Structure 1
Amino acid sequence: MAIHIAHADDGLAETHEINVTPFIDVMLVLLVIFMVTVPLSTVDVPVNLPVSNAQQKQPESKPVYVTLQSDFAVSIGDRKVDRQKIGDALLAETKGNRETQIFLRADKAVDYEHLMGLLNALRDTGYYKVSLVAVSSGAD
């Protein structure tokens, strides 16, 4: 008859790995909590702004439109203008006021080089307030 005596080496093998699943779960819960509470914790600073008595600026009675057509012809308003004389024509149209807002329209067939050439001509004349005009639509 044989008797088996248990030794310390006969136990279950110990694993030296950390189970990270609970750690990840806790981190995800904390992430959600912070994502929800951070926008709520921002403080709105109450400011009592003073009232302005300045008159509202009236828009120009007639905006200045510069149009670059698909054949590279330039127009100011409804008038065709020679591209080399665009500066003189704009000065006459705006009565010498270089602070006038210019609205630039270009045909979509016009390439970028010609559009930039016209923008450079406007800048060389001293008109820096130039807005590009586009048509807003849902589909082309």
Structure 2
Amino acid sequence: MGMGAPSGGGSGGGRGGRRRGGHRGGAISEINVTPLVDVMLVLLIIFMVAAPMMTVGVPVDLPETQAKALNSETQPITISVKNDGQVFLQETPIPVGEIAAKLEAIATTGYNERIFVRGDATAPYGVIADVMARIQGAGYKNIGLVTQQKKDQ
């Protein structure tokens, strides 16, 4: 019998003992998604923090008060009054006489809709009072004035 078994014990014989010479430091064909998930979570957190700051686009110098911040579950309708008396519904300029009709058109929960009035600190009081009277006259009861919290000195 001329056939002999390979001698065991060495690393040169058989399949199990061979080393693959060309594949030691080669490219891995799997995609590692952990860094991608980390980056996406960081971006999500950044946008969650920055989104409330970008909601109102009309620059208004709000008066400062000692009132606490409001907790709002839903996005309210915002009416802004600039220092020159110009009125904005969300970010769109609107004549004062059309406020009630526009509010009825965009309100999603009817007359229970939360409406915030943002009046510039130097805006004429009469314009802000007129805007609030028109909102209330249209039947809305949930009206709030937006101010900034006073910084402790």
If the length of structure 2 is used for normalisation, what is the TM-score?
0.49
Correspondence for 2:104: 91
Q: How many correspondences in the alignment?
A: 82
Q: Aligned partners of 1:94 and 1:139: how far apart in 2?
A: 37
Q: Aligned partners of 2:91 and 2:99: how far apart in 1?
A: 14
1:96 CA drift (Å): 6.7
In the TM superposition, structure 1's runs of 4+ consecutive aligned residues that sit over 2 Å from their partners are: none
Find 2:84's aligned residue among 66, 71, 74. 71
1:126 CA drift (Å): 0.8
Find 1:102's aligned residue among 110, 115, 124. 115
* Structure 2: unaligned runs, 5 residues or longer: 1-71
1:63 CA drift (Å): 1.6
Q: Larger relative contact order (C-alpha < 8 A, sep ≥ 6)?
A: 2
Correspondence for 2:124: 111
Find 1:122's aligned residue among 135, 143, 146. 135
Q: Aligned partners of 2:86 and 2:127: how far apart in 1?
A: 10
Aligned residue for 1:118, secondary structure, equals helix
Correspondence for 1:59: 73
Amino acid at match of 1:101: R
Correspondence for 2:39: none
Aligned residue for 1:127, secondary structure, equals coil
Q: Aligned partners of 2:150 and 2:124: how far apart in 1?
A: 21
Superposed, 1:31-70 pairs within 5 Å as 59-60=73-74, 62-70=75-83
